[in-house]
């Protein structure tokens, strides 16, 4: 079965084309369309492991963006298909499924309407995801499409974990609660790490740290998410590249009075001007922070220390929630590549029986593997996340049924 996976953002579309069967899958093509709706659109394709620009032209909307992806898959030097009819199904990453979607679904009119209803909860993401679905529909007519949600995995959180301590009627009226994100990644890396470390995923206590530009930690007990650090929106929990993470809401009231910030100003402050960027005043990129901290820049070192301290704090809280831990997993650009972050997070977790092997940890850069020391009672692993592959697997399962 040939499956196209699309991850549509507000101005970009990431794509991967897989050939899948019961035995496994082969990646046929991978790339990204960028700057949709902005001047200077570009289509890049991953060729020989390197991202290369294959087309530059203005791309006014998602439908035209997807059309270019289709042309690129079927025509010219990078073509991998003779005809678009070879594509059997399309999978979409959809950020917010609210309480409506506890698992991936085949898209029909009712599902489209429900994704639209969830847009209120994710105004930056869901409309773009929906545009991706509609564009494929317009171009490929009745092809089966599957929606895979970033929130679904966390729908197993118990009520006491997902409710906020505000009047209950706001949950009833507006569905204000914690949803959690990165669910596709948390589930995938936990399963992969359990297999790597010979643990039974359905009978283990796992903490997964997805550390990319956005970042979250999840506690997974017996295969189900029991709690996660992100909440109603992805701005809370860990300190991130440009997002603040958990914040005393009283600060917003205080700042509103002192700085007369508008809603837009507060939104920018929390999402774009905070985190590593805001504390260091230098960069949101962990590579820059590590380098500047090594060079002795106080605020870069502070940002690094605050970043790892908070990860440790969240891990500790989930060990408490689950009454133990068998497996700790790192993933995302930072989790997969920064041995310094992993080392700093783990070095004060020995109380839980977590000890990493320093050499193994430093040796793993960008590859997955086990980094726990042989005397560690908790296994610690690094897994390269692959959300697109999970989406393709979900499509294969649903469309085959």
In the complex with ligand ADP, which residue's Cβ is closer, 319 or 381? 381
DSSP helix/strand/coil, 157? coil
Name which of 97, 236, 102 is nearest 175 in CA terms: 97
Verify binding: residue 65, ligand ADP, rule CB under 6 A.
no
CB 219 within 8 A of CB 228: yes
Q: What are phi and psi of 289, to 5 degrees?
A: -65, -45
Verify binding: residue 333, ligand ADP, rule CB under 6 A.
yes
- The binding track of 272-291 with respect to ligand ADP, each residue x by CB under 6 A or -, is -------------xxx--x-
Name residues contacting ligand ADP, limited to 220-249 (CB under 6 A): 241
Task: Indicate which residue of 150, 305, 326, 357 is catalytic.
Answer: 150
Q: How far is the CB of 19 from ligand ADP (least distance, A)?
A: 25
Which of 146, 332, 346, 361 binds ligand ADP (CB under 6 A)? It is 332
Name residues contacting ligand ADP, limited to 174-203 (CB under 6 A): none
Q: How far is the CB of 251 from ligand ADP (least distance, A)?
A: 25
Q: In sequence order, what DSSP letters do the residues of 330-393 get, joined into one string?
A: EEHHHHHH-HHHHHHHHTT-GGGT--B-HHHHHH-SSS-EE-B-TT-SSEEEE----HHHHHHH
How many residues touch ligand ADP (CB under 6 A)? Answer: 13
Verify binding: residue 334, ligand ADP, rule CB under 6 A.
yes
CB 315 within 8 A of CB 328: yes
Per the annotation, the verdict on 227 as an active-site residue is no
Return d(Cα 370, Cα 249) in angstroms, integer: 39
Residue number of the CB closest to ligand ADP reads 333
In the complex with ligand ADP, which residue's Cβ is closer, 59 or 303? 303
Q: How far is the CB of 257 from ligand ADP (least distance, A)?
A: 33
H-assigned helices in 168-240? 169-174, 183-196
Verify binding: residue 364, ligand ADP, rule CB under 6 A.
no
Q: How far is the CB of 186 from ligand ADP (least distance, A)?
A: 13
Which of 213, 222, 268, 317 binds ligand ADP (CB under 6 A)? It is 213
Residue 32's contacts (CB-CB under 8 Å, 6 or more residues apart) are: 12, 13, 14, 15, 43, 44, 51
Bin 233: left if φ > 0, else alpha if -120 < ψ < 50, else beta: beta
Catalytic residues: 150
Binding stretches for ligand ADP (CB under 6 A): 212-214, 241, 285-287, 290, 332-334, 337-338
């Amino acid at each position: 079965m040939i499956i196209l996976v699309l991850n549509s953002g507000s101005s970009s579309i990431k794509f991967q084309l897989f050939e899948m069967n019961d035995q496994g899958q082969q990646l046929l093509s991978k790339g990204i369309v960028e700057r949709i709706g902005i001047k200077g659109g570009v289509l890049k394709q991953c060729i020989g492991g390197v991202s290369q620009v294959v087309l530059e032209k203005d791309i006014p909307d998602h439908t035209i963006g997807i059309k270019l992806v289709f042309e690129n898959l079927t025509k010219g030097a990078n073509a991998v298909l003779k005809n678009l009819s070879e594509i059997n199904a399309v999978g979409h990453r959809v950020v917010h499924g609210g309480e409506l979607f506890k698992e991936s679904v085949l898209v029909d009119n009712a599902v489209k309407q429900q994704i639209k209803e969830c847009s209120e909860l994710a105004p930056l993401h869901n409309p773009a995801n929906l545009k991706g679905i509609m564009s494929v529909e317009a171009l490929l007519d009745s092809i089966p499409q599957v929606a895979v949600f970033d929130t679904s995995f966390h729908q197993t959180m118990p009520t006491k974990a997902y409710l906020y301590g505000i009047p209950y009627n706001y949950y009833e009226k507006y569905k204000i609660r914690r949803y959690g994100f990165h669910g596709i990644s948390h589930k995938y890396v936990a399963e992969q790490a359990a297999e790597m470390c010979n643990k039974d995923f359905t009978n283990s206590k796992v903490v997964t740290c997805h550390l990319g530009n956005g970042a979250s930690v999840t506690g997974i007990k017996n295969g189900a998410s029991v709690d996660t650090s992100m909440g109603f929106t992805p701005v809370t929990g860990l300190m991130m590249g440009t997002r603040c993470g958990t914040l005393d809401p009283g600060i917003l009231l205080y700042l509103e009075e002192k700085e007369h910030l508008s809603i837009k100003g507060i939104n920018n402050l929390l999402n774009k001007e905070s985190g590593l960027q805001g504390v260091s005043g230098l960069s949101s990129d962990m590579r820059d922070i590590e380098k500047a901290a090594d060079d002795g820049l106080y605020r870069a070192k502070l940002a690094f220390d605050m970043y790892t301290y908070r990860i440790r704090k969240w891990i500790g809280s989930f060990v408490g929630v689950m009454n133990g831990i068998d497996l700790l997993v790192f993933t995302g650009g930072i989790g997969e590549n920064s041995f310094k972050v992993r080392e700093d997070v783990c070095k004060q977790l020995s109380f839980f029986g977590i000890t990493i092997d320093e050499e193994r940890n430093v040796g793993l850069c960008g590859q997955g593997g086990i980094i726990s020391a042989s005397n560690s009672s908790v296994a610690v692993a690094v897994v390269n996340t692959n959300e697109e592959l999970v989406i393709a697997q979900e499509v294969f399962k649903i469309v085959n049924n």
